[in-house]
Amino acid sequence: MKGKRTDMGNAQCGIARSLQAVGDWWSLLIVREAFKGLRRFSEFQKSLGLAKNILSVRLRKLVEEGIFTIEPDPDSALSHLYLLTPKGYELSVVLVALWQWGEEHCFEPGELNYAVVDSLNRQPLQKLQLAARDGRSLGPQQFRIEASRLADRDDEPGKR
């Protein structure tokens, strides 16, 4: 990374704070690889082709952010495993949304070789949609970003 990054850790925006935690592309690709079943430093390094020093920094940050936890590797006293935490698993929605957006906007027909599929029936997932609390599907013109307080949303599932 060139230059100094702006600290967004106190920003009053959920997107900015999320990007503070996982905002570089390598971090999300590491999380993607964990969803594919990778758990060891060497597996991430081989799969991504990422320099060891960069991978080390990204994994350390993901552990600090509570996205991964480190546990001893039962197969090797010299290494350990990087395991997704519940917070890390919740990134699945973000990754699927990015994947689906990428499928639609970043590939030519027939070019994409992978798909996100249901583990049970191996069928592609339904496209993610925004929904109102009453279940109505919302398009991009049917929502807005407003000032809010987390305390105002305590009754929502999954909130602190």
% of the chain surpassing 90 pLDDT: 59
What is the residue-averaged pLDDT of the chain? 87
Using an 8 Å Cβ cutoff, are 67 and 90 in contact?
Answer: no
Choose between 34 and 150: higher pLDDT: 34
Over residues 54-65, the mean pLDDT reads 96
Q: Provide the pLDDT for residue 160.
A: 43
Burial of 91 (0-12, 13-18, 19+ CB in 10 A): buried
The torsion of the CA quartet 112, 116, 119, 123, rounded to 10 degrees, works out to -70
- What SS3 class is residue 43? helix
Neighbours of 31 (CB within 10 A): 21
CA distance 67 to 65: 6
Residue 60 is which amino acid?
R
Using an 8 Å Cβ cutoff, are 137 and 130 in contact?
Answer: yes
Residues contacting residue 12 through CB under 8 Å, at least 6 positions apart: none
Considering only 18-27, 75-84, 134-143, which range has the smallest mean pLDDT? 18-27
pLDDT tier at 60, thresholds 50, 70, 90:
very high
Q: Provide the pLDDT for residue 115.
A: 84
Using an 8 Å Cβ cutoff, are 92 and 35 in contact?
Answer: yes
Neighbours of 2 (CB within 10 A): 4
